[in-house]
Amino acid sequence: MIDVPFLTEAQIEAKADALLAAFSRDREPILGPPVPLEDKFLYYLGLRLHMDDLHARFGVPRIAGRTDILAALWIEDREIRVDESLDPEVNPEAEGRYYFSIGHEVGHWELHRHHILATSAEPHLLMQSPSPVVCRISDLNGGGSRKERDGTRQQRDGRARMELQANRFGACLLMPGFLIEVAWQHRFNNLDPVLVKDRQSIASELRLLLPSAVPGHKVSASPIAHRALEALITDFAGEFRTSRRAMRIRLQKLGLIFS
């Protein structure tokens, strides 16, 4: 059983930022979005990327044609495989999930590979390759397969923790705080958060969340209409090649939108 250590969100973000800083130092500075994830970054890490029919590979049927297995990582082979249903050249709408899946696998590589290799040391001695890390939507929802549901609660929690950490790492890698700030500054000429003007309740929440307790700190936010907020999220998601949902969460976590 793989039991990865607990990491705070700040620790995960610091690890993603450190990786971005190392890439910028060793290869080329990242001055604006998008992060060159699928080519230069994977090459920098010595990882290869392939598209694959992962449901066929692992013998898991697609229920109602839906994709559950998004991607997988073979650590010893240094190989990431993304499910072919996310191929943005075939399915442009999947672009955000495609890049997020790659970021997620890089998260496993950076955060978990040593734990996974240590855990699979025994089969390795028997000349068997360690199993790949198989990433499924259902792993984040409490375990999808019957085998997983039958596992101990500790196993399910450990697995969910690993997936959550990889998701957070991927989000920080694809949408680094410093690049979001560059894009925000470019758009608004400031770093003030925005709030939807037709929801008064947010205003009081905002005053609580902003560092208003600091004496002399001016609490300011730009009120915008709901549709303008949606357009903003769409634009940023496009710039950073991520999904609208992932961008909304990231902007909320960075304290830039309140909705």
Give the interface with Zn ion as residue ranges (CB under 5 A). Answer: 135, 163, 166
- For residue 221, the minimal CB distance to Zn ion (Å) is 35
- For residue 225, the minimal CB distance to Zn ion (Å) is 37
**Best CA proximity match to 60, nearest among 159, 154, 147:** 147
Residue whose CB is less far from Zn ion, 37 or 135: 135
- For residue 110, the minimal CB distance to Zn ion (Å) is 12
**Residue 166: HSE in the Cβ half-sphere, 13 Å Cα cutoff:** 30
The Cα–Cα gap between 120 and 129 comes to 9
Residue whose CB is less far from Zn ion, 54 or 180: 54
Residue whose CB is less far from Zn ion, 105 or 239: 105
* Contact in structure between 221 and 206 (CB atoms under 8 Å): yes
C-beta nearest to Zn ion: residue: 135
Residue whose CB is less far from Zn ion, 111 or 256: 111
The Cα–Cα gap between 207 and 203 comes to 6
**Best CA proximity match to 246, nearest among 78, 45, 34:** 34
Residue whose CB is less far from Zn ion, 135 or 247: 135
* Contact in structure between 198 and 225 (CB atoms under 8 Å): yes
- For residue 135, the minimal CB distance to Zn ion (Å) is 3
Residue whose CB is less far from Zn ion, 13 or 163: 163
* Contact in structure between 35 and 41 (CB atoms under 8 Å): yes
Measured CA distances, 233 to 31, 36, 58, 240 (Å): 20, 20, 35, 10
Burial of 71 (0-12, 13-18, 19+ CB in 10 A): buried
- For residue 62, the minimal CB distance to Zn ion (Å) is 18
- For residue 15, the minimal CB distance to Zn ion (Å) is 16
* Contact in structure between 80 and 102 (CB atoms under 8 Å): yes
Residue whose CB is less far from Zn ion, 112 or 250: 112
- For residue 163, the minimal CB distance to Zn ion (Å) is 5
